[in-house]
Structure 1
Amino acid sequence: MTRLRLAIVGAGPAGIYAADILLRAERNFDVSIDLFDQLPAPYGLVRYGVAPDHPRIKGIITALREVLDRGDIRVFGNVRFGEDVTLDDLKRHYNAVIFATGAVRDAELHIPGVELEGSYGAAEFVSWFDGHPDFPRTWPLEAEQVAVIGNGNVALDVARMLAKHAEDLLPTEIPANVFDGLKASPVTDVHVFGRRGPTSVKFTPLELRELGELRDVDMIVYDEDFDYDDAARAAVSGNKQVFVIDKVLNQWRQREVGRASRRLHLHFFAKPLEIADDGTGRVGAIRYERTAPDGEGGVVGTGEIREIPVQAVYRAVGYFGSPLPGIPFDERRGIIPNREGQVLVKSNPDGSNQQMYGVYTTGWIKRGPVGLIGHTKSDAMETVRHLINDLGNWWRPESQSEESVVAMLEERGIDYTTLDGWRNLDVHEMALGEKQGRARVKVVPRDEMVDISLGRAAKA
C-alpha cells in the first residue's frame, strides 16, 4: 500500500488539527506524520498568544493534547525551519509538507510617531506576558496613561492586562517576571481607540464582558458615541452578537464611576492620526480625529481633532505572517500564496501562478489572522482534501524511514524535544505552580525549557 510521510511545520492548533483530520480521513494509503516547531513546547497560539486569564480558551489545549497523546503523531520541538532543517531536507525525507506557522508579527500602522520610544506592537507585548522564550524578560511599564489602538480581541486583551491588578492574575499561569512587572506598573488610565462605532467592533461579547469584571477598575464609555444612525440600529436588531455588545456597553453607561483606582476608557468614532512626541523622542499624546456614521455602516471624518496625553501606545491593529526560506510569500497580505491550501509559485512566463507540488499551508499563514482558533479546522479540512487528491504529485523522498529523520537531527547536534520531553516540562511547570497554590507557573527561558524536557535539569 502507498504510504504518505508528511511533515507539518508548526505544532499549534492549525498544525495539530491538520494532522488529526488527515489521520481520520478516508484514504487508500497509510500515513506517518511528523510535527516540527521552533519552540520547545507545542500548542503555539494557545500557549503563547492567549492572555493567561483566559482559561476557557486555553481549554482548547485539552483537546489538542488528546490528539497528540494518541501516539500516532511525532513531535520535534526546538527545531527551526530554514536553519536546522530546510525545504530540501524535507524533500529527502517526506512526500509533502504543510506549513502551519501562523502569524506572529504586528501589522503596520501608518501614522506619524509609531517609531517613538513608548510605542509598542501588541504582538510583542502579548509574547512578553505569555512568557515566549524568544522575547525579553522585562517590559517597560512606566506610563500612567496608556493608549491602545484597535477594536479587536487582541486590543481588549492588551487593555485588560494593562488595567488589571497584578494580584488578580496570580491564579493563572502568569510567569513570575510578568507578575513582578505588572505589579510595579503605575498605570491609572487605559484608553482604547476604534475609528468606527460600538456596533462595528471586532471583539466578541465574551471579551467585552470580561472587561467589566475587573476589580477596582471603572469602565468609562461616552454618551456621544451612542447616537446611532439607522444602519447601527439595524445592526443591533439584526445581529445577536451586536445586540449583546450594545447591551453590555449601555449597562456600563449606567454605572457609577469615580471610586476605582484605575479607569479603562473606550473611545469609539476615534481615528488615530498621530502619536505625538513629548519633545524628548518619547510618546507624549495620541492625536485623533472624531468620525461620524456615513449612513451605510461606515464612517467619515468630521475634521474635529482631539488629543489625549499618554506616555505609551500599543498598536493592536492585527497580526501579520512571516516569510519562510524557500517558500513563496505575499508581502502585501502576509500569507503564503495558495489556492485552497495548495501553495502557489509565480513561474509561468505570463507571471501567473502554478502549484508548488508537495507544499501546502493551513491556518493564519494560509488565510491571514482572522477568525477564532476553531476556524482553523475548516482550513485544515480543505488543505487535507487537496493533499489526498494530489497523490500523483507527491515528492519521491530518498530516505522515507522514520529513523532517518532522527538520525539527521542528531548528526546536526540539534537539541530537539519530543512529546515525552513536553510531558517532562508540563509536569515541572505544574509542580512549580503547586508550590504557590497555582495550576502552573510557566518556564520562560528556552535553554531551561530544553534542559527540563531532555531530563538535564532536576525536576521540582
Structure 2
Amino acid sequence: MSFVIAQGCCNDASCISVCPVDCIRPRPGDPQFMSAEQLYIDPDACIDCAACMVECPVGAIYDEYDMPDHLEVFKEVNAEYFAENPLEISEPVKTTRRKLTKDGQPLRVAVIGSGPSGCYAVDQLSAVSGVEVSLFDRLPTPYGLARAGVAPDHQSTKNITKLFGKIIRRPNVTCYFNVEVGKHVSISELLDHHHAVVVAVGADSDRRLGIEGEDLPGSYPVRKFVAWYNGHPDHNSDEFDLSGERVIIVGNGNVALDAARMLVSDIDRLESSDMAEHALAALRHSGIREVVIVARRGVLDAAYTTSELMALGRMEGVDLVAIPEEVTAAKDDSRLDQAQVRRKHALAAASVTPEDATADRRIVLRYGLTPVSINGEHRVKSVSFCKTAAPDDLESVETIEAGLVLQAIGFRSSPMEGIPFDERAGTISHIDGRVYDGAGAVMNGMYCVGWAKRGPSGVIGTNQVCAIETVAGLFDDFEAGALPPPGHPAERFPELIAERQPEYIDHVGWLKIDAEERHRGSAASKPRVKFVSIDEMLTASRA
C-alpha cells in the first residue's frame, strides 16, 4: 500500500522533510521543482508510514485505498512521474541550527506583506533563535491571496492559512496590520528600526493586452473579478454585468479556470463556501450560460494545471467543449512523449464538440487565437481574434460576441518608493533575493521574496523555497557584519506605529475578526462569512 498526492497539492515541500525513505519528488533544488504541477509519491518506495499525510497542510495526500472516486486517476499520475523520473535516493542535506545575535541584541527584521510569501519568510526567520520579526499588511486581515485569491470552492487549499496562523502567533513575531508602508511608515524608517526589510508585496497590478477597446466598460482584469467574489475590501463595491449569456476570458492559467468555474457553477454549491455575499447575490441572478477561455498558444502550451482542467470536466450540468481541429493540431508534437503533457492533451481531446454539447451551461476551450480588438461603442459587445499562426491573414479573423471580457494574461508588481524596480520584468531589482540599486550595487538590509521577487509564477508552496533562498542570504549577511544595527531601541518602534496609525491591528485584533467571521459562518453553515469593508473589520477587532 502507498500514499498518493492528488489535486490541491500546494508544493510547499513540507511532506518531503518528514518522509523517512525519501520517496517524494521533485525536491527543492531538483531541476523539475519550480515547473512541476505538483509533488509525487513513488508507489514502489512508499512504506505506508502516513507521515506525509499528517504533515500536508492542505489535505492533498490520501491512502491509495481510501481515495475519493474522482481522484482515483492520481494513482496513475503519481506512478507516471516515476516511470519517467526513476527514484534516486540521496543523503539529505544536513542543516545546522543557528542562533543569531550580536552583542547580545537580536536580529530584527521587518516583513512587508502577510500573504504566502511573507508568511513563509516569517517562518524561516522566526524559527531561528535570536530573531525578532515585525510583520506588516496594509489590510486588517493577513494571508493575502490565500484569503482573497484562492477560489471559494477550494476550501482545502485555503487550509494553508492554518499553518500560517501558527507561524504569525509565535512569540517573536509582532503583527502590524492595517498599516501601509509608504503611508504610515517609510522604508527608511523601517531600516532605522530593524537590521533588514523583506518585501513580500506580491503582484498587485495587471499585464495589458495592448489592443483597441481593452478599457471599455465590461472589460476588466481577472484579478479584480477574483478579488470581488472573494470579498476583498478594495473591490466590494465593484460591479460586473452578468446579464449576458457569454463571457470571454483571455488567457488560460489556473486563475482563468477558477473564474470560469465560478461563473457557471451551481449557485447552491457556492452558497456553502466563503464567497462574498454580494457576489453570491449577483451570480444567483446571472444570465451567463457560456464561458469561452481563449489562449494565444496551442493546447500543449496551456498554462493551467492538469488537476484544474480535470475539475472543469467534472462539473455537474456543465459541458467542457473544445474545437477538435485546435486540439488535434498537436497530435504529432514530440512533447507528447512526456506523461504530464500527454495527459493534459488527452483531457482537452476528451472534451465534447460544440455540436454535441447538450448541458445548460458550457465552458469552451479555444487555442491558437490572439485578440485583435475588443469591440463596442459604449461597452463591450464582442472580441475579434486572429489565428496566432497567421496574424496577417485577415480572412481568418473571428469575432465572438460577449457582454463581459476578463483579461487573464498575468500580473506584475507595482513600484514602491525607495525600492529599485525592474519595469521590464515587473519585479523588484534583485539577485537571489538581495535588492540591488540601478547602478548594480547591493542595498544593504533590503531583500525580497515571492512574486515581487520572481514574478507571478508557481503555486502557494513555491514561496517556501523562494523564502529559504532569500532568508539564507539575509542570515549570511548578518553574520558577515553587512547589516548595520538599528538606530533605535526595540521598544520605540511600537510607539512610532501607534502614533502614525492609531487604528493598527495587532495579532489579538486579527483573532477577533477571524472569530467573528467564523461565528457568522457557523450560523449560515459556511466556513466563514467575511467582512468586506475596513470599517467592519475594525469594529470586529475592537469587540
TM-score with structure 1 length normalisation?
0.90
Listed as ranges, the matches of 1:215-364 within 5 Å are: 215-229=316-330, 232=333, 234-238=334-338, 240-253=339-352, 257-277=356-376, 280-292=377-389, 304-346=396-438, 352-364=439-451
2:454 and 2:501 map into 1 onto residues whose CA distance is: 35
Quick check: 199-208 or 247-256, which moved more?
Answer: 247-256
Matched, 1:438 2:526: yes
Of the three residues 484, 505, 508, the one matched with 1:420 is 508
The one of 372, 393, 400 equivalent to 2:482 is 393
Give me the whole-angstrom Cα distance separating, in 2, the residues matched to 1:102 and 1:174: 22
2:231 to 108, 131, 137: 131
Contact 2:413–2:451 (8 Å) recurs in 1? yes
TM-superposed deviation, 1:186: 1.2
Q: Is the 8 A contact 1:94 1:400 kept in 2?
A: no
Match of 1:349 in 2: none
Gaps of 5+ in 2: 1-100
1:104 aligns with 2:204: yes
1:68: how far off?
Answer: 2.1
RMSD, aligned CA: 1.9
Q: Which amino acid aligns with 1:322?
A: S
1:46 aligns to what? 146
In structure 2, relative to structure 1, the CA distance for the partners of 1:165 and 1:138 (3 Å cut) is farther
Give CA-to-partner distance per residue, 1:105-150, whole Å, 9 cap, x none.
1111111110211111111111111111112424222332111000
User: Which secondary structure state, in structure 1, belongs to the residue aligned with residue 520 of structure 2?
Assistant: helix
Q: Flag structure 1 segments of 5+ consecutive residues without an equivalent.
A: 293-298, 347-351, 456-460
Offset of residue 281 of structure 1: 2.1
1:134 aligns to what SS in structure 2? helix
* Alpha-carbon separation, structure 1, partners of 2:332 and 2:249: 26
Q: Which amino acid aligns with 1:398?
A: G
SS class of match (2:135): strand
Report deviation, 1:257: 4.4
The Cα shift of 1:157 comes to 1.2
Residue equivalent to 2:115: 12
State how far apart, in whole Å, the 2-side matches of 1:362 and 1:258 are. Answer: 45
Q: Which residue among 455, 458, 479 is the counterpart of 1:371?
A: 458
Find the aligned partners of 1:317 and 1:63 in 2 and give their Cα distance: 30
Q: Is the 8 A contact 1:138 1:178 kept in 2?
A: no
Mapping of 1:78-93 within 5 angstroms? 78-93=178-193
1:66 aligned residue: 166
Deviation, structure 1 residue 217: 1.8
Percent identity (aligned): 35
Q: CA separation in 2, counterparts of 1:58 and 1:106?
A: 23
Q: In the alignment, what sits opposite 2:497? A: 409
2:126 match: 23
1:125 aligns to what SS in structure 2?
Answer: helix
Cα distance in 1 for partners of 2:421, 2:440 equals 12
- Per-residue CA deviations over 1:25-62 (Å, capped at 9, x if unaligned) read 5xxx7211110010111111110111111122212112
- 1:150-229 aligned at under 5 Å gives the runs 150-229=251-330
Partner SS for 2:203: coil
Give the direction of change, closer, same or farther, for the CA distance of 1:396–1:424 in structure 2 (3 Å limit).
Answer: same
Shift of 1:89: 1.6
Aligned to 1:458: none
Aligned-residue offset at 1:301 = 6.7
Map Cα deviations across residues 183-209 of structure 1 (whole Å, 9 max, x no partner).
Answer: 122112111101111111010112111
The alpha carbon displacement at 1:24 in A equals 3.4
TM-score by length of 2: 0.77
Q: How many residues align?
A: 436
Contact persistence 1:9–1:101 (CA under 8 A): yes
Partners of 1:448 and 1:65 in 2: CA distance: 21
Moved over 6 A (4+): none
Deviations, residues 217-240 of structure 1 (Å, cap 9, x unaligned) = 2221111112234663x22221x3
Q: Which amino acid is 2:484 matched to? A: W
Cα separation, partners in 2 of 1:241 and 1:454, compared to 1, 3 Å: farther
Q: In the superposition, relative to structure 1, how do residues 101 and 119 fare at CA in structure 2: closer, same or farther (>3 Å)?
A: same
